[in-house]
Amino acid sequence: MLNERGSVWLIDCGEATQHQILHTSLKPRRIEKIFITHLHGDHIFGLPGLLGSRSFQGGSEPLTVYGPAGIRAFIETALKTSNTHLQYPLFIEEINEGTVFEDDHIIVTSSKLDHGIYSLGYRFAEKAKPGELLVEKLRKDNILPGPIYKQIKQGQMVTLPDGRIIDPGLYVSDPQPGKIITILGDTRQCEKAVRLAENADVLVHEATFNAENEKMAHDYFHSTTKQAAETAVRAGAKKLCLTHISSRYTQEDERQLLKEAADIFQPVLIAHDFLEVPID
């Protein structure tokens, strides 16, 4: 949904983020916005380094960081202490629940989840795209190409030279629904997560523990594979991506973790470095 902008949006910035980016086609200078879910170290410790590297690599376009209260102090202290001077405008917005950003193409909303510290989930909802011009139908009705096509595409009533009044709704297809991506911070199961993920094309949900460690997940303010899948079902999501898997689980455990979620919701996959998830 960011192709038209020619930009990259990043959610959270753990340690070594900038080093991993070096192994991709992404360019730090293309990062336009960074959304921080919460202030635990594994979600923010890579941020000062990335901000500095973006400057060293010639990034000059403005960058905005969104996050809970405290993110400004963290960034400004790290940059000041390390004597890092950015060569681009940096904006830091400390946010709560509600609309975080909106323009003609997308609206970003956030909600507070259920974690040990203030943790946000984000819903990135692309606005509906205008329908396509039904060119064949126009030609069949002897409406010839020209500036008139643009007027019809823009929804304007048009009067033809022969006196016919054209209703644009007859020659434009229905609007195309926008895509929705929901990315949650660390959280227990909660109603706000379900609402954020409603009808999402992709739901990215933490699954720190396996299904049998539900009590531990609750005690540590996290979710299990099963709980993530239950949230996807309740939200009517179309695809589930599990993240934040505890390091206690090995690659050999991955098949079982995936099965626990897949028994409840499909399609589901477990995130790994450099994974690309297509949105149908």
Spatial separation of the C-alpha atoms in residues 181 and 170, rounded to whole Å = 32
Catalytic residue among 12, 42, 104, 167: 42
How is residue 176 annotated by DSSP? Answer: B
Closest CA to 141 of 167, 111, 118, 180: 167
170: helix, strand or coil: helix
How is residue 241 annotated by DSSP? Answer: E
Whether 257 and 224 have beta carbons less than 8 Å apart is answered as: no
Spatial separation of the C-alpha atoms in residues 118 and 121, rounded to whole Å = 10
Spatial separation of the C-alpha atoms in residues 256 and 239, rounded to whole Å = 19
Spatial separation of the C-alpha atoms in residues 138 and 25, rounded to whole Å = 42
- Answer yes or no: 280 catalytic: no
Closest CA to 266 of 277, 258, 254, 274: 258
Q: Which residues are catalytic?
A: 42
